[in-house]
Structures are given as C-alpha cells and as structure tokens.
Structure 1
Amino acid sequence: MKHKTVDVWETTRRRLDVIHRDFDKIVVMFSGGKDSGVMLHAHLDYMREHGITKKIAVVHFDYEAQYQATTDYVTEVMTSNLDLIDPVWICLPMAVISEVSMYQSHWKPWDPELEDIWVRPLPDVPGVIHTGNVPDDFPEYDGVWDYTLQEQVSRWLHRRSGAERTAVLVGIRTQESLHRQGAIHREDKHAMWQSYRWTTKINKGVYNAYPIHDWNVEDIWAANGRNQWPYNELYDYLHLVGVPLHDMRVASPFRGEGQESLKLYREIEPETWGRVVGRVNGANFTAIYGGGRALGAGKVKLPEGHTWKSYAVFLWKTLPEERRAEMLPKIRTTMRYWTVSGGALTASTAENLRDNPPEGVEVEFLGAPSDGRKRKVPMEVVRFSRYADDLSGRGPSAEVPDWRRMAICFLRNDWQLKGMGFGQTKFRRTQRVQALEKLKETL
C-alpha cells in the first residue's frame, strides 16, 4: 500500500464506519502527541460530517511533569469540542516508571503529599479527576502502574455506560516499533472484534482499536496541514532545536527511551525544567549524562582491570537494597533460562556461536524450538554452561545473553530489565494481587 494521505485517510474512514456501526460506546485515548491528536481530530471531523451527536469519551492521562505546550494543546482540545466529547482528564498519583534514578524506580505524579513541589497546578477545566473528586466507583489508582490504570479506566467507562461493546481508540502506528507491528499483524492473534486485525480484545465487551496504525509520520503532518487541525506546538520547538522528524516524541522524559529529551527541557521551557529538577530524583544528572557512557548510551567501554562479569557485580553492589530485591528474581530467571532450559536464538546467531564459541563456556545446540510458536525466521535453541562474559560480534546485542548486556542494564537504571528481554511488571507483588482481585470484580 502506498502511504499517501488520501489512501490512509480513506482506510481510516472505513474503520470509523465499522466502529460507529458495531460499538455503542467509544473512548479515545488522547496523549497530546501528534498521533493521538490526528486520530482524535479525524474522528471529530467524521462525526460532524455524518451528523453524529452522541458524545465520545476522550481520556487524557496527565503526567504532571510535561511541557507547557502539551498542557496548552490538551486544554484547547478538551475545552473546545464539548459538543462532541466527554473529557476525562486523569490527574492521579499512579505509578510511572523512572529510569533516571538509582533510588527511585518509579514516581507518582500528582502525589498529594508532595503538592508543594508539583511541577504545575492542577488543571481547572471540566472533566479533571483528582484525589479530591474521585468517583466512588473509580478503579484503584494510588501506586497502580499507569498502563494498568489505563485498561482499568477503559473498563470503568464501559461498565458505567451500560454499553454492550466499547471501542477504545489508541493512536499507535506500526512504523514506530516492531512491538506495535506485532499488536496488529502477529500470526497467532485471535482476540479481536470479528476478523478486524486492527482491533484487540482487552476484556469482555471492551476492544482496543487502532484506526491509524498504517499511517506514516509524513501522513500525520500532511493531514494536519491539509485539514488545518490544531496540533501540539512543542513539535515546532523540537524542529527548531534540530530534532529529526522521526525522533519527535511527547512522552514521559523519565523512561529509558525518553531520557535524551530531558536535556531539551532546558532549551525549550527553562521554567518547567527548573521545577522538573526538584520533582524527580536524578533528572538533572540524566539530562547531563543521559546521552553518554555514564548511563550506558553509545559504545560502553569496559573499565581497566575488569571483566564484564566483575564490572556487573561491582555495579550491582552499588545499587540500593530495594532495587536489588526487585531485580533479583528476573536475573535468576534469565540465568536459569539460558543455562538450564536453553533459549531460542536466530539460526544465524547460533551459527556464529558454532564458528566462534565463547572462551571457557560450553555451548549446546538443541535444534529447532518445539513450543509450536510460529516464527518469521528460523530459530535454534541454545544452552550455555554458564553466562558468557561478552558475546559481541556473534549476534545482535539485544539477543545474545552475556554479562556485558547485564552491566549496561545496571548503568541505565533499567529496573525492569527491558534490556534483558523482560516486559514491564507491577513494582510490588502485593499491588499485583490487588490489581488481579480488582479485575475479577469487573468480569
């Protein structure tokens, strides 16, 4: 398919036809970024063209520490379309991952106990939900991971509306990442509405929908220009300071993937930056060193006199006890995975290991995986007698297991060990139990 704005727009209109035909409750997740903004404006234009007056819910999760330009844009959108939307503006102390501090694995925006150092005051507009006005039937939120709360809010809106089916529109594009591409196109996908692969069932009667998943970033800006839709002016500032088009993001600057943007606060909004430094531990240090080797960016050099194992152990001992306790179960899991059961590597990486085995480590090649999963490339199960020190050059650094990879996780304050292949989890087992119990109540 050619990615011309008119092509993707017509495809999106057909998806909106399905959404308004088959779903009696519609929720739009609006971050204030370019993708969710275009998705929302396209939807509002569609509603006006078709004379649809039944309001949609527009949900914005406010992370407190954000650019004023983002807040201004969200305020404009959420207050100028009240004929078609019910705004749901979440300002609650949920848990948000922080990878800028050795001591703080998460932080809580809008924490009422820290109101004196909030980055900005609570928004004073319709639809804001804060600790002083939370509805009685609202999901548990204090310390709940933000992504978990997003799903719970979707179920809450579905339940209180009495709808049979709710569509939750999410502005992701597969161009952004392989993970997003997999959400749409993975071969084993079954949980969707009818046969529409651009939907995903997340709960009984609740489906995520991705109406602009096949748009490119050029389509986004062409649509904004052609339709004269308002957009977040932060992108103009990012352009002026030299950020490439494909690297422009409106996201939490305290996540690992957002650390590079921290330093831009000083240039774009120095007043906001001054308050951010005092709000989240490690923000200033990461802004200074986040793009360098001190935090694992670029080519990390091994300190003289160390092996990667001894360096990783040294870094491990510098971590606070609480951080070590959170990470230890995952470290043990990855050790068992590669040294006991064996893990799947691409066939090309396995072949490289045959031709160039790591010194002092025995490698067993156990053949093709037998788990029945469909894979796009040939794979082979490999088992190591112990963790190798450095497998550089034998395969992609994100694939091969070694002490170098683990040391970089420690340097980056990667508490979730995403660099070792783990996904995000709850930060405390007790909160996970609470979240599961809460979910059972809604089923």
Structure 2
Amino acid sequence: MHVSETLSIDVLEAARRRIAYVFAHFDNVVVAFSGGKDSGVLLNLAIEHVERHEPARRIGVFHLDYEAQYSATTDYVDATYQDLAGRVENLRCCVPVKVPTCTSMYQTFWRPWEEEKRNLWVRDLPPYHLSAADFPFITPEMSDYEFQERFSLWHHQKTGAGRTCILIGLRAEESLDRWRTIVSDRNIHKFQGRPWTTKVYENVYNAYPIYDWAVEDIWRANGRFGWRYNSLYDLFHQAGVPLHAMRVASPFISAAKASLSLYRAIDPQIWGRLVSRVNGVNFMAIYGDTKAVGWREVEKPAHMTWKDYAMFLLDTLPPETAEGFRQKLATSIKFWREKGGVLTNETMDDLRRAGIHFEVGGPTNYKTDKLPVRMEYADDVESNEFRLIPTWKRLAITILKNDHAGKYMGFAPTKAEMARRAEIIEKYRGL
C-alpha cells in the first residue's frame, strides 16, 4: 500500500480510520456495491470493521442491478449477497429507471427490468430484490443517478435513523470529476469538515473512505487478504485490457463504447441478448473504437467544411434527436458570444496561430486564473485543448458519438434537469 499524500500512514490504515469514524458518528451505514473492484474492496473493509469491532451491527448493502451486464458480475454479486445473508440488509434494486445509452441515434435511454419488454430481458430477476413497488418516489422520468441519490433519503426515513451515511468506493485517481468531488473546499457540504464526505440531504451523507487509493492498492488488498473479487477482471487481463482501463459499468454508456465488442468474446450468451435489448448495440460493437463514431481521429468529406459536415449529420438524424443537438448548439453559440469560456494562454496562442479573432475578458467568479474568451464558432483548431474550443468539428464528433447530453461539448445537466432534481429534493425535504 502506498502512503497517503496527506497522512503519514498508508492508505489502508487511513481507510480503516475513516470507516471507524463513520461508524462512530452514523447510526445507519450503507455500502454502495456496484460489483466492481473498488466497491468490492470497500465492502470488505466495512465488513471487516463490523466483525472486529461491532459484531452486532447490521449494515445495508445497496446494489442497483442494471439487468444487462457481464455474467461474471452477476455471479459475483449473487455470491456476495449469499455469503452475507443474515448479516447485512439486502438492498438489491431492480427498477425500470432511465439509463443513458450512446449506442443509437434513435434511443437516448433504456430501462432495465422494463415490464413491457420482459420477453427481451437479458436475464431473469434475482431471487430476492426490491422492485419499483417498494419505492413510492419513483417516477417515469427518473434517471438511475436520481434514483441512487433519492434512495439514500428513502432508506434514512425507512430506518428512522438519526444520521445515514452511504459508503461509496470512489477513487480520485479515476477521473477529474471524481477528484473535484473530493477536494471541494465547500466545507458547508462536508460532515464536520471531513473532505472525503459530501452532504446529500439533511443528516444524509456520502463518504469516500478509499478516495486516495491507487488501482494497484485495490489489487494488493485483494491479494493480501484473499478477498473475493469479480472474475471479470481476470478475463479483462487475459483479453489484454490495461489495468487502468478495466471498468465494470453499463455497456451502453459513452465510456464503455470502445470496449463493447469485448462482450462478444468474453460473454457470448449475454452478447446475443444485448443485441436485441438496446438499439444500435451491434453497430457500436463493430465501430465503437473507430473514427465512425468519433472515437479515433475523425475525417470529413474532402469537399465539405466541418460546419457543412456537422449540418449534414444533423439533417440525417431523427427530428427529435436533431432538435436536441440544435438546442445545445444554440446555447453554446450564445455562451461563447456573450459570456465566453475560460482558456489557458497556450490555447489562446493556438487560436492566434489559426488566425481566429477573439476577445479576452477580465477576471471571473470561476475558481481559476484563466480568463474568459469570447469568440464565434471556428471550423477547426489544432490544439491540445481541442475539446474546450467551440468548433464545428467538435460538434460533429459529439453527434457521431451519440452524445445526447453534450458532455463532449462541456455541457452539464440542463436547467430543466437541475430544476426537476431540486423539486424532488424540496418535495421530500420535510419528510
């Protein structure tokens, strides 16, 4: 185990101390268990604490079952719940919430365990599970992310707890967004100022005890203590997938597109069912790691500009899908004309070399020393920060990726999505 950058102890001891702190200050503790390597290690650490220090304590184990996943993941989750039967609260949820998919121009989301499509289910329901009938707060428009967040409040109220903590196996090493979740200095949203916690609702917090672990630490812990883990990782290793690229996630999200074809080799029976379950899966498995869907260097027809190509792509989309992209384009154009996005001096130099006119504004309220740049959409710009620059090529790549949310263009959730989330929180705040 490597030594924590902020502590003089290794990350294993640091995690154990954080978990002990959670158990000392929260009467209701739930582990979010995805079936991946990180959540598996965190669950084992939590069980270790209970067995050593509070054997009478009963924790919850929350698993959102996505129906369509590798058989090895299902086997691992099944075996874990079987081993812990009677010792933990089984919170395995099989609910038809909206889950994003980037495999199709026609389908922006799908629903696991959708009753109307039972004949297409990838597998049968597990013997014990919680269904939509157990959660009165579920709505037809609720996403998987919203369900997971709302679940914590539901369980807090159901148990009558004074304080509830959801332990999450998030590691800052894995992405910038995860790093920001941990290092935010807004202590008003932390429990007693602990940087590895985040307030979700009143008296309901998320905690990330292994946030400073490296992926190597995860595997050292599994080897050292002989903990069971998802055998899918062994298959990934045999397939040549790099250690830092091994992910157990929904096969239809953007991050999984490039490796979707592995299903055919690793889990052919499940693969055959995936093809008919969600639109566009077979195409994405064939072309998901190619320029055809914007994953590698994208080319346009020689007689077209990138603007021409982007407009051509929009004209080929279903009307509703195209309108979603057009709305995001209009929002982006307005933003870059009136407010501007913050760019580094190096990126501004790239704009100058490309002969692109832009205006630089003064300091902003953003937590950065970068200055805002106002400009019109450019056709293409060679830059290491290409994704941060408003170009028609970036729009074309976004369309090719079926990135309906516009993440490649830097879009966060829309105001409507955020407003709906705020309404849900406010509705249940006093319950």
- TM-score normalised to the size of structure 1? 0.92
Deviation at 1:301, TM superposition (A): 1.2
- 1:70 is aligned with what amino acid? T
SS of structure 2 residue aligned to 1:168: strand
Whole-angstrom CA distance in 1 between matches of 2:106 and 2:353? 43
Show CA shifts across 1:72-99 (max 9, x none).
1001111211343101111111000010
SS of structure 1 residue aligned to 2:50: helix
Whole-angstrom CA distance in 1 between matches of 2:353 and 2:187? 37
**Which residue, 391, 397, 401 being the options, matches 1:402?**
391
Partner of 1:261: 259
62-71 vs 330-339, greater mean Cα deviation: 330-339
Deviation at 1:9, TM superposition (A): 1.0
- 1:286 is aligned with what amino acid? M
Q: Is the 8 A contact 2:30 2:59 kept in 1?
A: yes
SS of structure 1 residue aligned to 2:260: helix
Are the structure 2 counterparts of residues 15 and 273 from structure 1 closer, same or farther at C-alpha, using a change threshold of 3 Å? same
Are the structure 2 counterparts of residues 336 and 147 from structure 1 closer, same or farther at C-alpha, using a change threshold of 3 Å? same
Structure 1: gaps spanning 5 or more residues: none
Tell me, yes or no, if structure 1 residue 92 matches structure 2 residue 90. no
Are the structure 2 counterparts of residues 178 and 438 from structure 1 closer, same or farther at C-alpha, using a change threshold of 3 Å? closer
Deviation at 1:160, TM superposition (A): 1.1
Partner of 1:17: 20
Aligned pairs for 1:348-367 within 5 A: 348-358=346-356, 362-367=357-362
> How many residues matched?
425
Whole-angstrom CA distance in 2 between matches of 1:192 and 1:434? 24
Tell me, yes or no, if structure 1 residue 374 matches structure 2 residue 375. no
Q: Is the 8 A contact 2:63 2:93 kept in 1?
A: yes
Are the structure 2 counterparts of residues 24 and 13 from structure 1 closer, same or farther at C-alpha, using a change threshold of 3 Å? same
The RMSD of aligned alpha carbons is: 1.8
Aligned pairs for 1:97-246 within 5 A: 97-125=100-128, 128-131=129-132, 134-135=133-134, 138-246=136-244
Q: Is the 8 A contact 2:29 2:164 kept in 1?
A: yes
SS of structure 1 residue aligned to 2:277: coil
Show CA shifts across 1:299-344 (max 9, x none).
1112111100000000011111111233333221111111122221
Whole-angstrom CA distance in 2 between matches of 1:104 and 1:166? 36
Whole-angstrom CA distance in 1 between matches of 2:199 and 2:241? 36
- 2:47 is aligned with what amino acid? L
Whole-angstrom CA distance in 2 between matches of 1:29 and 1:317? 42
Deviation at 1:177, TM superposition (A): 0.6
Q: Is the 8 A contact 2:171 2:178 kept in 1?
A: yes
Partner of 2:427: 441
Partner of 2:403: 414
Deviation at 1:391, TM superposition (A): 1.4
Partner of 1:51: 54
- 1:382 is aligned with what amino acid? V
- 1:343 is aligned with what amino acid? G
- 1:346 is aligned with what amino acid? T
- 1:52 is aligned with what amino acid? P
Q: Is the 8 A contact 1:391 1:401 kept in 2?
A: no
Aligned pairs for 1:302-381 within 5 A: 302-358=300-356, 362-367=357-362, 369-371=363-365, 373-375=366-368, 378-381=369-372
Are the structure 2 counterparts of residues 187 and 352 from structure 1 closer, same or farther at C-alpha, using a change threshold of 3 Å? farther
Tell me, yes or no, if structure 1 residue 281 matches structure 2 residue 268. no
Deviation at 1:187, TM superposition (A): 3.5
Whole-angstrom CA distance in 2 between matches of 1:329 and 1:35? 38
**Which residue, 364, 367, 379 being the options, matches 1:389?**
379
Q: Is the 8 A contact 1:390 1:403 kept in 2?
A: yes
Are the structure 2 counterparts of residues 392 and 352 from structure 1 closer, same or farther at C-alpha, using a change threshold of 3 Å? closer
- TM-score normalised to the size of structure 2? 0.94
Show CA shifts across 1:21-45 (max 9, x none).
1111111110000000000011101
Partner of 2:73: 70
Whole-angstrom CA distance in 1 between matches of 2:178 and 2:269? 34
Whole-angstrom CA distance in 1 between matches of 2:29 and 2:212? 21
SS of structure 1 residue aligned to 2:60: strand
Q: Is the 8 A contact 1:33 1:249 kept in 2?
A: yes
Whole-angstrom CA distance in 1 between matches of 2:17 and 2:72? 32
Q: Is the 8 A contact 2:364 2:372 kept in 1?
A: no
- 1:402 is aligned with what amino acid? T
Q: Is the 8 A contact 1:28 1:58 kept in 2?
A: yes
SS of structure 1 residue aligned to 2:220: helix
- 1:390 is aligned with what amino acid? D
SS of structure 2 residue aligned to 1:88: strand
- 1:161 is aligned with what amino acid? T
Whole-angstrom CA distance in 2 between matches of 1:346 and 1:186? 22
Whole-angstrom CA distance in 2 between matches of 1:424 and 1:227? 41
Q: Is the 8 A contact 1:198 1:210 kept in 2?
A: yes
Whole-angstrom CA distance in 2 between matches of 1:119 and 1:326? 30
SS of structure 2 residue aligned to 1:202: strand
Q: Is the 8 A contact 2:61 2:91 kept in 1?
A: yes
- 1:28 is aligned with what amino acid? V
Q: Is the 8 A contact 2:258 2:295 kept in 1?
A: no
- 1:383 is aligned with what amino acid? R
